[in-house]
Chains A and B, each alone.
Chain A
Amino acid sequence: MQNILYLRNYTVEPIVSDLENLLRKKRLFYNFELSNYDNYLSLILKKDFPKKKYSFIFASVSFDVFFKKNFLKKKIDKNLCSAILQELNILVSSIKEKKIKLLLILLPTIGIYSHKFNKFLERKKKEIKEKYKNIDVLDLDELYNNNKKNFYAKKHWNSSLFPFESKVSKIISKKLSNYLLHQNGKNHKLIIVDGDNTLWGGVIGEDGINNINLGKNKIGVFYKKFQLNLLFLKKKGIVLALCSKNNLDEIKKLFHIRSKDMHLKLSDFAVIKANWNSKAKNIMQILNELNLSPDNSLFIDDNSHEIDLVKSQIPKMDCFQIKPNEEKISIIDNVVNFFYTKSTNEDKNRTKFYNQEIKRNIFKSKFLNIDRYIKDLNINLIIRVNSKKNIDRLSQLTQRTNQFNTTAIRMTSSDLKNYLDNKTNYVFELSANDKFGDYGIIGVAFIKTYNNQKAIIENFLFSCRAIGREMEDYFIITIIKFLESKKINKFYINFIFNKKNLVAKEYFNNKNILINNNSKKQTIKICKNNFISTSKLLMKVNYEI
């Protein structure tokens, strides 16, 4: 079991207890070690601090020992402000040196400190988020703004040094769980939503398009807010799909006629299934079309019967029954497994990528010969070696990719930077485009070389939306050719089998690189001949070396 060191100077046990329950449901198990209230800084400053013992460090600190006395008091003197900053600096710099992943959970400062100091602290938070690759910040300011009256609980603070109201405590646990799910590739990538009484109030077929409730009253405002939440998630890289028991023409009319009342447009959905088939059947089709797993997907519907049917037929799928009465607490906080990290270009364009993918599949159906199809796509591959330009996206690929991920070793941006700092290591990244558009960065390979003779592909990942067009083959062959030019002549690949990377296992088995169902690390010899001949010239390869 992996360990997490939880540094804190206030009570966090109820949060940790809920967090453990949430993680257990997702089959994730961590052992939490909590610091004492008064030794969190000295603990990590110790020379013999066992950094290898911990996978993560969480820090829930109020940054000042005076917090207890000054709870919720607005006026705090200059000495306290400088003490707070000093503690923050010591914490951040010591973690930076140790190169451990830290999640900094910052109490909202609004209403506690002076306006001037808050602005300063805001800048500091921004600096930490941008500058330190191994530090993530869980900023509670937004949560506070949405629940000002029910955020802090003076009674729990006075009795137990616990600052939060019960609902806020639950949300913080959920956010911490989302962070760990994200680190383990178990975050939601796809949200499939129903239409009637889910995206809008009312039933199109019964109420008529003009009577659909969007913003008319409290309930209508709820649906508009829900749409806004979904739009936010889409911008952060979560793919949306619509699955509704309606006629497609009616749905199109609603989005056209009521466009001013809607935050979402039809083009925000990567797939739309509007028909009278069962929801489970439609959902399976959506998952197939997008090549995504139910493990990483969430279905939202207002109808408990539909939810039960989907749960029974697709047990791995997360389902949520929406009720238009949760005004204060956002659905993002409660339901979606999502942790806010820096958005990459791929996040912003993800729906576009999936739309292009659907066009490619339609194009493919015109061909009987797969080589002819691939050639007619006019694929251009761009391969970069040891480029530090796209570290955040490469880190994201290690965290999001499950199906074609040979070892499932997750890396933060800081891990990647350290990997690249080692001169015997190579990181190859693959981008591509074709006649339907840009794929973005779709593949990455981490390679360790030994005495300029032997190379091991320590991890090989490929985005599931781009699998099956022989780009994987071209990528591996290009890597081998590059290493051969460095006089390396023995090549191996590491593989750790898990339930999710069956696609990668089958890919290599089809190439006569035999991988067994062993969850221990396997190192298998590979050679160019295992892969298709690039002499077929199905695509162009460009190097940026």
Chain B
Amino acid sequence: MKYNELDLKKIFVKIFKVNIKLVNKNFSINKIDKWDSLNHLRLILEIENFFDISFDEKIVAKLLSYKLVKLELEKLKIRFI
């Protein structure tokens, strides 16, 4: 399935309430105070719901940056344009 990368970025904006310009490959748990366990759960739920996918249990806890999330989605055959 093909998606606009902006859709993924918008999910990060919605959860962490940041300017979309900040959502890039460097956006990670280390740089965002609001990235706590509850917002991590919300992020995963939003992404799973939007892209209609389900992350593997082992991988969920490792998706701690925008880059890793995008890579994992690509592994699940989500293509970004």
Instruction: Say whether B61 faces chain A, with CB atoms less than 8 Å apart.
Output: yes
Could you tell me if A17 and B49 are in contact, using CB atoms closer than 8 angstroms?
A: no
Could you tell me if B37 and A170 are in contact, using CB atoms closer than 8 angstroms?
A: no
Q: How far is the CB of B75 from chain A (nearest CB, A)?
A: 16
Q: Whose C-beta in chain B lies nearest to the C-beta of A169?
A: B45
Could you tell me if B49 and A166 are in contact, using CB atoms closer than 8 angstroms?
A: yes
A158 partner, pick from B38, B55, B57, beta carbons under 8 A: B57
Instruction: Say whether B48 faces chain A, with CB atoms less than 8 Å apart.
Output: yes
- On chain A, the number of residues with a Cβ less than 8 Å from chain B's Cβ atoms is 17
Could you tell me if A156 and B42 are in contact, using CB atoms closer than 8 angstroms?
A: no
Could you tell me if A155 and B57 are in contact, using CB atoms closer than 8 angstroms?
A: yes
Instruction: Say whether A165 faces chain B, with CB atoms less than 8 Å apart.
Output: yes
Could you tell me if B48 and A165 are in contact, using CB atoms closer than 8 angstroms?
A: yes
* Residue numbers in A under 8 Å from B38 (CB-CB): 11, 13-14, 160
* Residue numbers in A under 8 Å from B49 (CB-CB): 166-167, 169-170
Could you tell me if B57 and A14 are in contact, using CB atoms closer than 8 angstroms?
A: no
Could you tell me if A154 and B57 are in contact, using CB atoms closer than 8 angstroms?
A: yes
Instruction: Say whether A162 faces chain B, with CB atoms less than 8 Å apart.
Output: yes
* Residue numbers in A under 8 Å from B40 (CB-CB): 160
Q: How far is the CB of A535 from chain B (nearest CB, A)?
A: 65
Could you tell me if B54 and A162 are in contact, using CB atoms closer than 8 angstroms?
A: no
Instruction: Say whether A518 faces chain B, with CB atoms less than 8 Å apart.
Output: no
Instruction: A422 to B55: give the CA distance in the assembly, Å.
Output: 57
* Residue numbers in A under 8 Å from B18 (CB-CB): none
Instruction: A156 to B47: give the CA distance in the assembly, Å.
Output: 14
Instruction: Say whether B20 faces chain A, with CB atoms less than 8 Å apart.
Output: no
* Residue numbers in B under 8 Å from A169 (CB-CB): 45, 49
Instruction: Say whether B41 faces chain A, with CB atoms less than 8 Å apart.
Output: yes
Q: Which range contains the number of B residues in contact with the other chain?
A: 10 to 19
B41 partner, pick from A154, A156, A165, A167, beta carbons under 8 A: A156
Q: How far is the CB of A21 from chain B (nearest CB, A)?
A: 9
Q: How far is the CB of B53 from chain A (nearest CB, A)?
A: 9
Instruction: Say whether A159 faces chain B, with CB atoms less than 8 Å apart.
Output: yes
Q: Whose C-beta in chain A lies nearest to the C-beta of B52?
A: A167
Could you tell me if B55 and A155 are in contact, using CB atoms closer than 8 angstroms?
A: yes
Q: Whose C-beta in chain B lies nearest to the C-beta of A157?
A: B57
Could you tell me if A160 and B57 are in contact, using CB atoms closer than 8 angstroms?
A: no
Q: How far is the CB of A128 from chain B (nearest CB, A)?
A: 29
Q: Is the interface of B mostly helix, strand, loop or mixed?
A: helix
Instruction: A169 to B42: give the CA distance in the assembly, Å.
Output: 10
Could you tell me if B41 and A159 are in contact, using CB atoms closer than 8 angstroms?
A: yes
* Residue numbers in A under 8 Å from B71 (CB-CB): none
Could you tell me if B41 and A11 are in contact, using CB atoms closer than 8 angstroms?
A: yes
Instruction: Say whether B6 faces chain A, with CB atoms less than 8 Å apart.
Output: no
* Residue numbers in B under 8 Å from A156 (CB-CB): 41, 44-45, 60
Highest count of chain A CB atoms <10 Å: which of B38, B42, B46: B42
A159 partner, pick from B42, B48, B61, beta carbons under 8 A: B61
A160 partner, pick from B41, B46, B56, beta carbons under 8 A: B41
Assess A159 versus B54: contact at CB under 8 Å? Given A13-B42, A14-B42, A17-B42.
no
Instruction: A434 to B49: give the CA distance in the assembly, Å.
Output: 52
B37 partner, pick from A155, A160, A165, A166, beta carbons under 8 A: A160
Per-residue A-contact encoding for B37-81, CB less than 8 Å = 1, 0 else = 110111011101100001111001100000000000000000000
Residues from 21 to 44 in B contacting A, C-beta threshold 8 Å:
37-38, 40-42, 44
Q: Whose C-beta in chain A lies nearest to the C-beta of B61?
A: A159
Could you tell me if A166 and B61 are in contact, using CB atoms closer than 8 angstroms?
A: no
Instruction: A158 to B37: give the CA distance in the assembly, Å.
Output: 12
Highest count of chain B CB atoms <10 Å: which of A166, A169, A170: A166
Q: How far is the CB of B56 from chain A (nearest CB, A)?
A: 8
Instruction: A158 to B60: give the CA distance in the assembly, Å.
Output: 11
Could you tell me if A165 and B54 are in contact, using CB atoms closer than 8 angstroms?
A: yes
* Residue numbers in A under 8 Å from B46 (CB-CB): 166
* Residue numbers in B under 8 Å from A11 (CB-CB): 38, 41
Instruction: A392 to B17: give the CA distance in the assembly, Å.
Output: 43
Q: Whose C-beta in chain A lies nearest to the C-beta of B54?
A: A165
* Residue numbers in A under 8 Å from B61 (CB-CB): 159
Q: How far is the CB of B61 from chain A (nearest CB, A)?
A: 6
Instruction: A90 to B56: give the CA distance in the assembly, Å.
Output: 39
* Residue numbers in A under 8 Å from B45 (CB-CB): 14, 156, 166, 169
Instruction: A155 to B45: give the CA distance in the assembly, Å.
Output: 11
Could you tell me if A162 and B57 are in contact, using CB atoms closer than 8 angstroms?
A: no
Assess A162 versus B48: contact at CB under 8 Å? Given A154-B57, A155-B55, A155-B60.
no
Assess A13 versus B57: contact at CB under 8 Å? Given A166-B48, A167-B49, A170-B49.
no
Instruction: A150 to B48: give the CA distance in the assembly, Å.
Output: 12
Instruction: A150 to B44: give the CA distance in the assembly, Å.
Output: 15
Could you tell me if B55 and A13 are in contact, using CB atoms closer than 8 angstroms?
A: no
Q: How far is the CB of B48 from chain A (nearest CB, A)?
A: 4
Q: How far is the CB of B46 from chain A (nearest CB, A)?
A: 7
Could you tell me if B41 and A13 are in contact, using CB atoms closer than 8 angstroms?
A: yes
Instruction: A150 to B53: give the CA distance in the assembly, Å.
Output: 11
Residues from 219 to 240 in A contacting B, C-beta threshold 8 Å:
none
Instruction: A165 to B57: give the CA distance in the assembly, Å.
Output: 12
* Residue numbers in B under 8 Å from A17 (CB-CB): 42
Q: How far is the CB of A71 from chain B (nearest CB, A)?
A: 13
Could you tell me if B41 and A14 are in contact, using CB atoms closer than 8 angstroms?
A: yes
Instruction: A150 to B60: give the CA distance in the assembly, Å.
Output: 17
* 8 pairs, A vs B, C-beta closer than 8 Å: A154-B57, A156-B45, A160-B37, A160-B40, A165-B54, A166-B48, A169-B49, A170-B49
Q: 5 tightest A-B contacts by CB?
A: A155-B57, A166-B49, A166-B48, A166-B45, A160-B41
Given contact pairs A156-B45, A156-B60, A166-B45, enumerate 4 new A-B contacts (beta carbons under 8 Å). Answer: A13-B38, A13-B42, A14-B42, A154-B57
